[in-house]
Amino acid sequence: MPSTRRPTYRGGSGTSGSGTGGSGSRPPSAGTGTDVISASKTATDTAADTAVGRSRNPQNPQGTPDNGPGKVLSFPEPKGKRRRRILLSTIGIVAVLMAGIVAAAVYSPVLALRSVTVEGTKMLHPDQVQAALAPLQGKPLPQISEEEVTALLKPLVQVKDVTAKALPPATLQVHVTERIPVALVKQGKTFQLVDVDGVQLSTTADAASVSLPVIDGGSGTLPKDLFQAITAVLGALPADVLARLSNASAASADAVELKLVDGQTIVWGNAGEKELKARVLSALLKVPADPKNPVKVYDVSVPRHPVTR
């Protein structure tokens, strides 16, 4: 609203109005010699300002001055910042929920182990494996590791490797890979079943009950290098050839010999190229026998040039 105040002009000393009079004349002033412009406010002006104040501030209808503390304007939160805040809050909530679910699964008695199934055993009975794993009964499946299962089965020498799989809600499936016996080691009147690493798997008093070659250690203990050379050869033979052997011996690590059940001799030599020698020997044994010229010796010590005689 335009102000109704009117400025008045007062002239300095020595100055006289030069107009013709009227409202625009400037009366002489008896001041200090300078021209001063002043403004005054009439009652009408005050009433008008009060009315304007009431219209601009409806909370102060009396139009009195508002001497309270300053007011702060609130601006809306930027959309990008708000989206980030919502995203972080959502991630936090989801993380808490997932942690709760995992904790419930790991420690819940609902997933406690109650049964063990065993696969892959031949020398061992499944009951032996289940008995070895008895300490795991009642433990939640998520807390059972394959390393723990392997450690519990370590006393069973027949076990070479093991894998475990949880089958919720309460079953553990165990697959056992057993060691494979490759020979019988004669020790006095008993025979020890051993694998290619020389691990004793079991014993028997009747060698004829097991279709494996016999390694005769004599009255003493077979030297380790000779034993390893023999078992390395036996471990390379296919099962059908291994079943036809009666015994194995070695004068040295480079002079391994095998005997078939029908009396034929196999000159093997050292343990080098054992896979190739095994294939060559298997092929020679499949050749039909000649009754007029029977083969007594198969020499595969040089596998690329085998000899029969």
What is the pLDDT, as a whole number, of residue 249?
A: 87
Residue 87 lies in a domain: no
Q: For 289, left (φ over 0), alpha (ψ -120 to 50), or beta? A: beta
Separation between Cα atoms, residue 211 and residue 295, nearest integer Å: 23
Under the banding of pLDDT at 50, 70 and 90, the label for residue 20 is very low
Q: What tokens were used for 49?
A: 């300002």
Residues 215 and 271 grouped into a single domain: yes
What is the pLDDT, as a whole number, of residue 111?
A: 83
What is the pLDDT, as a whole number, of residue 71?
A: 61
Residue 64 lies in a domain: no
Mean pLDDT value of segment 260-277: 92
Separation between Cα atoms, residue 200 and residue 156, nearest integer Å: 11
What is the pLDDT, as a whole number, of residue 280?
A: 94
Which of 63 and 188 is assigned the larger pLDDT? 188
Answer whether 248's CB lies under 8 Å from 256's CB: yes
Q: At what angle do helices 274-285 and 224-236 cross, to 10 degrees?
A: 50
Q: Is 127 exposed, middle or buried (0-12, 13-18, 19+ CB in 10 A)?
A: exposed
Separation between Cα atoms, residue 50 and residue 52, nearest integer Å: 5
Q: By mean pLDDT, which of 28-32, 44-48, 293-297 is the weakest?
A: 28-32
* 238 pLDDT above the threshold of 60: yes
Residue 199 lies in a domain: yes
Residues 146 and 216 grouped into a single domain: no
What is the pLDDT, as a whole number, of residue 153?
A: 96
Residue 129 lies in a domain: yes
**What are the contacts of 219-225 at 24+ separation with CB within 8 A?**
222/185, 225/253
- Residues paired with 250 in a beta bridge: 256
Answer whether 240's CB lies under 8 Å from 275's CB: no
Answer whether 156's CB lies under 8 Å from 202's CB: no
* Tens of pLDDT, residues 100-148: 776 666 667 778 899 999 999 999 999 999 999 999 999 989 889 999 9
Q: How far is CA 148 from the centre of its chain?
A: 17
Domain span at 234:
183-308
What is the pLDDT, as a whole number, of residue 185?
A: 86
- Residues paired with 191 in a beta bridge: 186, 204
Q: By mean pLDDT, which of 69-73, 128-132, 191-195 is the weakest?
A: 69-73
What is the pLDDT, as a whole number, of residue 22?
A: 44
What is the pLDDT, as a whole number, of residue 18?
A: 43
Residues 168 and 191 grouped into a single domain: no
Residues 169 and 200 grouped into a single domain: no
Residue 65 lies in a domain: no
Residue 164 lies in a domain: yes
What is the pLDDT, as a whole number, of residue 176?
A: 96
Domain boundary among 178, 196, 214: 178
Domain boundary among 157, 178, 199: 178
Assign 3-state DSSP to the chain and report helix, strand, coil percentages, each to 5.
Answer: 30, 20, 45
Separation between Cα atoms, residue 223 and residue 165, nearest integer Å: 41
* 233 pLDDT above the threshold of 80: yes
What is the pLDDT, as a whole number, of residue 10?
A: 56
Answer whether 244's CB lies under 8 Å from 264's CB: no
Domain boundary among 178, 201, 218: 178
